[in-house]
Structure 1
Amino acid sequence: MTHRAKTIKPICLIILDGWGLSAQIDGNAIRLAKTPHMDNNYKIYPNTRLDASGEAVGLPEGQMGNSEVGHLNIGAGRVVHQELTRISKEIKNGAFFKNKVLIKTIENVKKNNSSLHLMGLVSDGGVHSHIEHLKALINLVNDSKIENLFIHAFLDGRDVPPRSAIPYLKEIDYYLKKKGIGEISSVSGRYYSMDRDNRWDRVKKSYDTLVYRIGEKFKTAADIVERSYSNDINDEFVIPSLVRSRDEEKAKIKTGDSVIFFNFRPDRARQFTRAFISESFNEFDRGEKPPGVHFVCMTQYDKTFNVPVAFPYREIKNTLGEVISNNNLRQLRIAETENTLMSLSS
């Protein structure tokens, strides 16, 4: 009797970014489109629905999900509490204000009698950052009696409506005045300061604005955005510009200063961070003497970055990729250059 060897057929895990299920028809491109292949799949294969937002994927209730959150939860095979939730919880329970990395940064500013720069995406989108985290940092600085505080606001327009920046900027402006500290020093669309696909000409434009105060000056941050709207430029694409400062020299990011990048999602924070911390940087001309700063990342943007991290990476064990590998099965992973499926790695 001949025994045939058992053939193991390949199994594909395919992530369709942006594919969602909703009974709503108006504005629902998937419901309005012709999707014969997907319709057929639903008919002949077992299927179910998964929640891709809120507490089901480790986010606060009502918070929309995103591609990274989806990849992380699918790759882990369980609910993974996201950095947004982690940081927000620490703000609520007070641990944030005792964070050793943040406290040391404050001490560095006092020791050098220098400036503290807070930079990041200013919105409540919750995908890359959250405005409440910025306000918590302002509270921390206020309690520490630091005089020179400068905010470098990156505008969203993707995870929130395309023309929603002004209320966020006014909220931070009001918050600073209420506390009696700091100022918004520069404004830039995320198109420039949060590029992730090696478009270094964009990054340079934002870098030069923050470091050398190169750019058009305006009276207020809101004025920058209003001018952009009049030129049909939405938040995401606002050209890096300056807000007139009480002290133009101190408003520059310079040697001896401290910088906290408060974005918690790594992918769009890596390039701008590299421009400040890399000794062998050659992607664009940073000038004769690039500033040597005490640079802090909110989370671990890259394993190779030798800088302090306020909220270090928490290793996720027993992931899908790890289980497959431990069972001596082969894997092939394919992803676009702008999107790394880190969560599936063994």
Structure 2
Amino acid sequence: MTTPGQQLFPEGIPTPPQDAGVFRAQSISGEAHVQPAARFTGKPLTPLVLLILDGWGVAPASRGNAITLARTPNMNRLMSMYPTVTLHASGEVVGLPWAEMGNSEVGHLNIGTGKIIYQNLPMINKAISDGSFFRNDAFLQATAAVQERTSKLHIVGMVSPGGIHSSQDHVFALLEFFRNQGLGKEVFVHAILDGRDTQKDAALKSIAKLETKMHETGVGTIASLSGRFYAMDRDNHWERTEKAYNAMRHGRSEHTTDSPLKAIEESYRQHIFDEEFPPTVVVGVDGKPVTEIGDNDVVIFFNFRADRARQLTKTFVLPTFQKFDRGTPIANLMFITMTEYERNLPVTIAFQPDHARFNIARMVSEAGMRQLHIAETEKYAHVTFFFNGGSEEEYAHEDRVLIPSPRVISYAETPEMSVRAVADRIIQELQHGRYQCIVTNFANADMVGHTGNLQAAIQAIEATDEAIGRVAQQVLNMNGTLVVTADHGNAEEMINLQTGEIDKEHSTNPVPCIMANSLLASQRSLWPPVLDGNLSSLQPVGVLSDVAPTVLQLLGIQPPSEMTSRSLIR
């Protein structure tokens, strides 16, 4: 048994052949950095192990940086001997909103597929900015249906700047779209109020902005208001959904108003804020609802997150719905959802999921190579489902191994988790020689980082480093290739240095990427040095999705054109 802090992999490395290639770091824009450049012409050295360190970010040393506080001789030696860069792992370059911290799901999607997989919010925002939103087929179908049927168009969704389930910018864009299409008085908005992902009383400002936008565009009338407690329940409290449905569908509620803003102000005076705002029907001067959702109408539900949009959607669209009495069925209703809320719902989807057809696993399989995906329980889905582009499919010659995670209340109790068992199995499989490619995840930095226990996180990092050294020793002794990277940061920011408070969240920091084999070792001097394991002085030269084409090139596999990111090898 080894002890944390022990250096394991060999001092010596094979002498590279004369035609060994040189790595050239690529920036996000594709412009080369200052390193000398040449083609990588060496023969692929297999087996290749892709080792993803979950939650292992890069940041300057600090009292809250568990990674720099830990003893990591094996990572330090890898970085000193082999080409090493840092990669962006958060925000728009991994498909998330600007400045949003990375996460394991998005990280593995990007690493595995070799392209930026845009998540729903930035995908729709991008469509608005590039104009494709205003050519969206589903919205054009909605316009045509309303005009042909002489019916009404209902925009349903949470009018909120929160950006978690919806964005009020999206409803504003819809109003502009329908103005351009010549609609106006036919459009009605059924506004859901937030109060959970925003301040409890943010709706007053949001609804005022909505009314201003309606006035500017000449499109739309607010038809109903409802707190998300009712309209966005996800826990089968169907009595809540029923109240929101009745307000929208039948114009029926215990609460009515002729002024949405006055209704919200009155609710605040009663200390009922946005989230619990009761479903309220807007009425005209005659005291009757300004509209109801009826036969031949069109509904657009503009929430982009699925989990809290499903119940209300099913209430409208499922022909066999039996959770409560919906009244007379709506005939010929066209229902459009912003994104896919659930497979096989009878709806039109405005923005289809960004499925990646190609990924490392598929390409390795099609090349006839055997591969193993292995992780402990906490990260097993990430090296399988997410790494394979959001698909449960196991490709030909792909095997999977799940190592159980410890059953403890907190991983601070067992900071080593199951990393030694995962490393044991990898080494065993390498020795058996069955696989040309192994994909694995070491979970410790992330899962122990989430506990907020700094000392436990330091122990987790040291246990991880020990396992890295053991795997490195085995694969490099076999003249194979080791690629070490991470999906996002976490353990490098355990203390908020501004407030002094414990920080359990992910970070927006870059992550390391080390590419190690005997053909590349002699080129290490062409890259900026990494002294004492300090990567924070290096500027990121790529993004997570650059890992896939890099791995494929190291395996001698031509990346498909759908992998729009670039290999770090030139």
The CA deviation at 1:309 is 0.8
Aligned to 1:223: 262
Deviations 1:186-245 (A, max 9, x none): 111111111112111111110001011112111221222212212222211111112224
Deviations 1:91-111 (A, max 9, x none): 122111111111011110011
Contact 2:223 2:289 in 1 (8 A): no
- Is the aligned partner of 1:329 residue 2:368? no
Q: 1:20-35, aligned counterparts within 5 Å?
A: none
The alignment's TM-score, normalised by the length of structure 2, stands at 0.48
Contact 2:179 2:217 in 1 (8 A): yes
Q: 1:11-160, aligned counterparts within 5 Å?
A: 54-55=91-92, 57-62=94-99, 64=100, 70=103, 72-78=105-111, 80-146=117-183, 147-160=185-198
Contact 2:282 2:290 in 1 (8 A): no
**What count of residue pairs does the alignment treat as equivalent?**
301
User: Structure 2 CA distance, aligned partners of 1:207 and 1:292?
Assistant: 18
Contact 2:191 2:226 in 1 (8 A): yes
Q: Structure 1: where are the runs of 5+ without partners? A: 1-12, 17-21, 23-30, 32-38, 335-346
Contact 1:253 1:291 in 2 (8 A): no
The CA deviation at 1:325 is 4.8
- Counterpart amino acid of 1:239? P
Aligned to 2:276: 237
The CA deviation at 1:75 is 4.3
- Counterpart amino acid of 1:149? V
My pick for the range that moved more, 282-291 or 296-305, is: 282-291
Aligned to 1:311: 351
Greater helix fraction, Structure 1 or Structure 2: 1
- Counterpart amino acid of 1:287? G
Residues 131, 53 of structure 1: alpha-carbon distance in 2 compared, 3 angstrom cutoff: farther
- Counterpart amino acid of 1:197? D
- Indicate the structure whose relative CO is greater, using CA pairs within 8 Å and at least 6 residues apart: 2
The CA deviation at 1:253 is 0.5
- Counterpart amino acid of 2:109? A
Aligned to 1:298: 338
Residues 314, 171 of structure 1: alpha-carbon distance in 2 compared, 3 angstrom cutoff: same
Residues 222, 44 of structure 1: alpha-carbon distance in 2 compared, 3 angstrom cutoff: farther
> The residue matched to 1:284 in structure 2 has which SS?
coil
Contact 1:83 1:264 in 2 (8 A): yes
The alignment yields a C-alpha RMSD, in angstroms, of 3.4
The CA deviation at 1:136 is 0.8
- Counterpart amino acid of 1:243? V
The CA deviation at 1:277 is 0.5
Contact 1:245 1:251 in 2 (8 A): no
Contact 2:282 2:289 in 1 (8 A): no
User: Structure 2 CA distance, aligned partners of 1:165 and 1:230?
Assistant: 14
Contact 1:187 1:224 in 2 (8 A): no
> The residue matched to 2:105 in structure 1 has which SS?
helix
Contact 2:295 2:332 in 1 (8 A): yes
After the TM superposition, which segments of 4 or more aligned residues of structure 1 sit over 6 Å from their partners? 44-47
Residues 190, 108 of structure 1: alpha-carbon distance in 2 compared, 3 angstrom cutoff: same
Aligned to 1:320: 383
- Is the aligned partner of 1:208 residue 2:246? yes
Contact 1:276 1:291 in 2 (8 A): no
User: Structure 2 CA distance, aligned partners of 1:259 and 1:213?
Assistant: 15
Deviations 1:47-100 (A, max 9, x none): 9xx9986335422324x46xxx83531442545321211111111221111111
> The residue matched to 1:329 in structure 2 has which SS?
strand
- Is the aligned partner of 1:262 residue 2:299? no
Q: Structure 2: where are the runs of 5+ without partners? A: 1-51, 76-86, 360-381, 406-570
The CA deviation at 1:295 is 0.4
User: Structure 2 CA distance, aligned partners of 1:325 and 1:332?
Assistant: 18
User: Structure 2 CA distance, aligned partners of 1:109 and 1:187?
Assistant: 23
The CA deviation at 1:163 is 1.4
- Counterpart amino acid of 1:228? S
Residues 302, 261 of structure 1: alpha-carbon distance in 2 compared, 3 angstrom cutoff: same
Aligned to 2:317: 277
User: Structure 2 CA distance, aligned partners of 1:245 and 1:176?
Assistant: 17
- Counterpart amino acid of 2:138? V
Larger Rg: 2
Contact 1:76 1:320 in 2 (8 A): no
Contact 2:94 2:118 in 1 (8 A): yes
The CA deviation at 1:137 is 0.5
Residues 132, 332 of structure 1: alpha-carbon distance in 2 compared, 3 angstrom cutoff: farther
